[in-house]
A and B are shown apart, each in its own frame.
Chain A
Amino acid sequence: MRNFDPVDILIVEDNPNDAELTIRALKKQNLANRFFLVEDGAEALDFIFCRGKFEARKECNSLKVIFLDLKLPKVSGLEVLKEIRENEQTKLLPVVIVTSSKEDPDIKSAYELGANSYVVKPVDFEHFISAVSNTGLYWLLVNETIK
């Protein structure tokens, strides 16, 4: 069994290209030492709550931030967010919504469900890198979470 701990950032992204570019951006800021990538909502919930194939995770509370795409297979981003907020252990966990479009009709619902931030993935690579890096730097280094 692979040791998953400790993980700071959980990236929930079904597009493998976007995932690779996000990880590259985080690596440039030396932020990608402790990240984990999952490709659908069901896997994300299993990871967050240390169940299923992630049962062996020991440090279940190590996460500092979740980068959550809204359009996901199996369980949607909004449903993932809802479950996170409904659980006593994770209700305060910072969740950053990452989406392709400013027009996303689910953004209002995401904020209503308690999303902490909302970031649009720019088409231009330099802008993409800076959006991801700034978000990563802020949530991992500037922001303080409740212990």
Chain B
Amino acid sequence: MTILPFTMAAGEALALGFATGPVCVATCGPVVVPWMLAQSEGVRRHGLQLGLFMTARLTGYLLFGAAVWLAGAAIPRAWTGRSWLLGAVQVLLAVSLAAYATGWPRRRPKCAQRPEPLVQIGEPMRGKARSALALGFLTGINICPPFLVAGVRAVQLDSLSASLLFFALFFVGTAVWFLPLLSLGLLRRTPAVVTVARAAALLLACWYGFSGVLVLIERVIYG
């Protein structure tokens, strides 16, 4: 194992994240863009939602960083179980996106007689926060090419904390490319825009489900 000086590794992680960020945005785009378009308008609200999404994504990154360091180089290089993970994550993404797009499962009000609050500042965030966290985490562990490159580099570091730091800085480098997505908050929300975004999310859920199931079937057939 090559031991890299800390500053060099940190700089490399940042540069790697920044250089591969466009691919990360492209990979996460099908999840993030329809999801954000279906939210209410306003850059501030979008910032909050994107912040939650990115926090969950960072959690996914750090978990992966810890896993690859603990398992050594085997995971990113030739881990045969990788396709299982990929397929499973894609199916979970499909379920999450479909649930978000369709509003399923519909929650029954606890008490039918419960009065509406007289004053409510903003919109209730519970469901939105949940979807931001679920989608962020699942895209965080969705293995894409830049992620694998970072994984290969992280296992060469000499400690778990260095590996986690490497992934955290890699995340910061990629996160810069997500900032332009905040501009989606400037778009005027009409019922048509929300319907289009939700329908697109449903279509993308179908695609993730289809490709995830294909990966799993291939694993079953070819081992």
Are A and B interaction partners? no
Residues in chain A within 8 A of chain B (CB atoms): none
Residues in chain B within 8 A of chain A (CB atoms): none
